[in-house]
Structures are given as structure tokens and as C-alpha cells.
Structure 1
Amino acid sequence: MSDQSLPSGALEALQRPSNAGDRSTIRKLSDFDQGVLAVSASHDEDLGELTHKFDLLCPRNGCGSVILKAGVGRWVERDSVELDISKEPLHPDLPTLPAPPATTHWWLVTPNIIEFENIGFTRPVQKDAVAAQKLKFLICAECDLGPLGWCEEGGNEFWLACSRVGYR
């Protein structure tokens, strides 16, 4: 039999969270004077389509897991969605979204979940009896903070609230 011992420090490295880098660089959208304009970049001059120029992170202090690499999500302003259906108080790292039908800013991720680095989902939730589609809320796959956004069950569009993710 061969000796299969691990190199020094390998076990500790495997047990650390995957995002154990410098968490002090997590910035929230509210930290930027120009809001979404400060975190966006145009990659297509003809269409004026904006994407995020920073990696999107879990906003929880002490987590900071990379959710989406820079440039993957497309900025969209559209109707807000009621994400906070729980009776529990909202986590301090998750700002309240405007009530529908007001609009808010989203990062739209398509065509499938493979675009994400680290995302989790809740069980399907039916918002009301007349809603045709059930929603799944997007959460941090590492610490379960959420909801950070939403998608329709079985859909291929994933919506992250610009104000509910961190930027680095």
C-alpha cells in the first residue's frame, strides 16, 4: 500500500469556507454614490446593455461567498416582487424592496443555473391562490441568507435584487 497522507495544511484548507478570502472588501449597493450606475458596465455599445462589473457576493458579514462572477447578470429595472413573506424580522444585510407594483433594480441571469458560482433555492412558494407559477427564492448556498432574489419554478430566468447582494 502507498502512503496516502495529506500535505501539511491540506485538511485545514479543505475545512475552511470556500470564500475564506478577504471579506472586508464586500460592499453593498448603498455604499456606492451612483448606485447601480457605479457597479454597472456596458458591454454592447449598440444595445446599451449593462452588466455588473464586480463579482456578486453574499452580503452577510462573515460569509461573502461568490454568487456570480462579474459580467454574467444583465441589469433590468422591472416590477418589484414581494420576497419577504416570513413573519420573522428581515436580516440586517437584506434591505426591504419596494412593494409591488413599484419597480426595483435586478440582475437577470439566463439561460440556466449553471451561470452561478454558488446559489441555493427554497422550496416552491405560491404567493397567492390566483398565481399561475410558483416561485423559488434564491439564497446563499453557503450560509442560507436570503431571499436574495427569485425565479419561477422550472423557469430559465433568475432575478437577483441589486440591493441584496454584495459587490467585490
Structure 2
Amino acid sequence: MSQDLWAALQQASSKPRPHPHPLSSFTNGISDVSNSDGETTNKYDLLCPRIGCGSVIIRQGVAKLKKRESIKMEPSDITPNPLLTPMPDSPEQSHWWLITPSPMEFENIGFSRPVESLSLSPSGKKLKLLACAECDLGPLGWSEEGGTEFWLACSRVGYRSSGA
């Protein structure tokens, strides 16, 4: 590898990472992070919530805001990651960012294998969990095995905003 290329790679990695703002830092919660131009979409880039990572998961305007039944994403015998907001138990409703029609809409996301130990999706299919592809923090959301809908929990992602 040439020294110029190595220097360029090192310089690119020294750029400051975006600072993820949690949903709880917004005065008006979900209404502060969404746009209502016909269909409600994400007002800001969605980021990995881990400070120091801040990897862009979805660009602004790509995800649609939906309210739906909560999904259990962690087995009950495992303590959830303290960096992630606990999800309400089903059938409680929670806010989700819906991404369609393919995983190519994501900037950076990782998928688990189909998870056998969790409850199935509302349609009865196995779940795949979504995590930051850079630092593996998750689960941030879920999709059905072979599905075309990808769901990110609004409370489990960070937001790139200068106003929060």
C-alpha cells in the first residue's frame, strides 16, 4: 500500500463522528424528529445511538413514521443493553420508522440470522434483528425473514440534529 493511500485512509478515519441525540432529548418527542409533508418521514438522519459511533443508518426523509404494536426483540432471560431504551410489552403501541422496499435503502445496517428464541412477527414469520453494522449495537429494530419491511424503533436510534 502506498504511503499516500495509507495517509488518506488514516485521515478519513480521524473525522469527527456525528453526535447522536436520543429521542428523549427532544422537547416534543416524536413530533420534533418527523416531517409531515403528506406522509410523515424522518426529519433528520437516523444514527447509531452509541456515542463515539454515530454511524448513519438512514438518511433523512427515507423512513416513514408508524405507530404499531411493540415487538419483543430481546429474550426475557437477557438483560437489555443499557444504551438501548426498553421496549414496551406487546400489545402496547410504540413508534417505529418503516423502511421499504429493500435493505438497500439503508446506509449502514446489520442483520441477524432468523431468531428462534423470540416471539414471531405479527404475521407469524421468524424475525431478523437489525443492528449497527459498524459497532454491532442492537437490536435497533427488526424485519421478517424474507420480508420487504424493515422496522427501526424510534426510541432506539439517534438523531443528527443541531437543535436538540
TM-score range, shorter chain: 0.7 to 0.9
C-alpha distance in 1 between matches for 2:139 and 2:109? 11
Instruction: Provide closer, same or farther for how the CA distance between residues 22 and 51 of structure 1 changes in structure 2, counting only shifts above 3 A.
Output: same
Q: Does 1:39 align with 2:33?
A: yes
2:126 to 131, 134, 137: 134
Q: RMSD of aligned C-alpha atoms?
A: 2.3
> What TM-score, normalized by structure 1, do the two folds share?
0.85
C-alpha distance in 2 between matches for 1:58 and 1:38? 18
Q: In terms of Rg, which structure is larger?
A: 1
Instruction: Provide closer, same or farther for how the CA distance between residues 86 and 61 of structure 1 changes in structure 2, counting only shifts above 3 A.
Output: farther
C-alpha distance in 1 between matches for 2:152 and 2:158? 11
1:92-111 to structure 2, matched below 5 A, reads 92-111=82-101
Q: CA deviation at 1:128?
A: 4.6
Query: What's the secondary structure of 1:6's corresponding residue?
Result: helix
C-alpha distance in 2 between matches for 1:93 and 1:129? 24
C-alpha distance in 1 between matches for 2:85 and 2:95? 13
C-alpha distance in 2 between matches for 1:129 and 1:152? 9
What is the CA deviation profile of residues 127-149 of structure 1, one whole-angstrom value per residue up to 9, with x for unaligned ones? 35898311000000000000000
C-alpha distance in 2 between matches for 1:64 and 1:86? 28
> What TM-score, normalized by structure 2, do the two folds share?
0.87
Query: What's the secondary structure of 2:87's corresponding residue?
Result: coil
C-alpha distance in 2 between matches for 1:8 and 1:152? 41
Identity of aligned residues (%): 51
1:116 to 95, 102, 106: 106
Task: Name the count of aligned residue pairs.
Answer: 158
Segments of structure 2 that go 5 or more residues without pairing to the other structure are none
